[in-house]
Structure 1
């Protein structure tokens, strides 16, 4: 019960995106409750940056696994995720019932996404592409992402960046990782990897034999959750391409996701409900996060060994730089091109970006400001 209580508390209060979530987790789990030390926490964060999927959610799942086994991992995820899923599903219901996609406050939600993604881009660049070489990788990947706007193209770009990183950084030294005390071993990890890869391969192959919309949703969101590196903001371009939904509807949900605490991947709840009601929302959320569970359970027993390999860390540097580039491309298309249609829209972007970056207002306040300004502009 302690695990889910703490997770719900974090799920209700963790605003600000993945980087902020990592800070909230450290304060709660390391400093306050002392469930683990800083060195082990840093290693878990490194692991979750290495894996595709929502990094902050995976950190929470990992700590739950260490504290209470597989059930502890599930409860940690449930508590952290459920509040924002419920709020976004309620938002989807409201928008569907009112049809108010063109209202000023909805447009304000779309505009605030520009400021939030730009802010995330700056933060990720400082940590993931801090030097000339990795900035160059990021720019090249952004250009390629815009020129090849497909899911296969994005995966190919990430793989190519990983190969370059391996070749360029392979001589750098990596410190050995601390060992983790787990209630499950390598056999469970191998089974988890088999399930992960089995679903990733079989779901698209079997799709022609199933006409169910729920199967299609599960296939789409499982695939997206399996191959997106870099966390919530980077899922934006792939979801925008994979999910058949109008850009206005999509960006309204993305903007709303900034106003709620918890992981940005809960946007799946909003999109799933828009596609197939409450059942669609539940299927989308489960499919989006299931790969994270399987990957974390599959990798934790082997992480101490993997972490010490120089080649893995070298490739990861290239992959992380590619993530920055993909996010840069997403900032332009679809975020900027769909949200900013005139001078007043761009003025709102400048105001919200300044409040977020310079004055460091909480994201929820930025969202409210953008909603208010969008409503005012709509009345002019």
Structure 2
């Protein structure tokens, strides 16, 4: 079965084609992605209306590119998948609209996919795919969760953030340092030049005894540290940006210290989740999963415990159509997708807890 997938939940337009024939893990046949980063940089963050309009411009040319990669016509597609949620409502509607229009034109079924399930299952497209069951650490821009995963659609929430997500902590700390958008990758790059032990920053909920996260206090601690350094500067606090008086080394040290605090919490909580469940396999997915320090620390900690750790390929850590087509393919194989043609309507869920999927018989 050939499944064409569309991802348009935020600021990346992704299209991909996978082969989900039989019981074998779906294979990626074509993949194309357009990032809106350059467009949103002028505004310091994602502008929803601009994001939606850009998805409209990009989605059909990307679809043509994917089908050309696969060497197949659109008529060869057996089902069409799209991100149903969560995400920006207008952006989600673009992917939903295109998927439903193609489904109706081709007489093919349309499958709505949960964005986080796409991230969760994305390591199955890697050279070292995991096996069920496993603990999953989902760390994307607005989500930080630990899940027990016993199979496709069989998810148990173990812990989640009670305020800011890890990705938001990266972005907000970067903004305090004047690093611009997107903040997370910029902060990680700057942190490579800094000392992670330069400043003592808090590790919120590290010893809470549960698997929940909290990063809002860390952002406040970074703000306090930047203010302290700025006020100690001979010229006093900045007038244009708070971090302007800081030296390049001070900024790098703050970045490294903030990154170390975030990574320490993610690693310790992940290990605690493995202890609590008794599982010996960890999957890390989402944009923050590309962070090199997080991978280094998790790899070392899991190696000491003889625990297997799996990641998506680096180019599939960010939002992409491949993970959406993959998730749909795995749902089809598990008998959890409605393959009856029809029902072509705009049905998106900007807010959609992943745990609700366990109660769904089909999507």
Q: Over alpha carbons, which structure has the higher Rg?
A: 2
Does the alignment reach a TM-score above 0.5?
A: no
What range is the shorter-chain TM-score in?
under 0.3
Greater strand fraction, Structure 1 or Structure 2: 2
Greater helix fraction, Structure 1 or Structure 2: 1
TM-score normalised by L of structure 1 = 0.25
TM-score normalised by L of structure 2 = 0.26
Structure with the bigger RCO (C-alpha within 8 Å, sep 6+) is 1
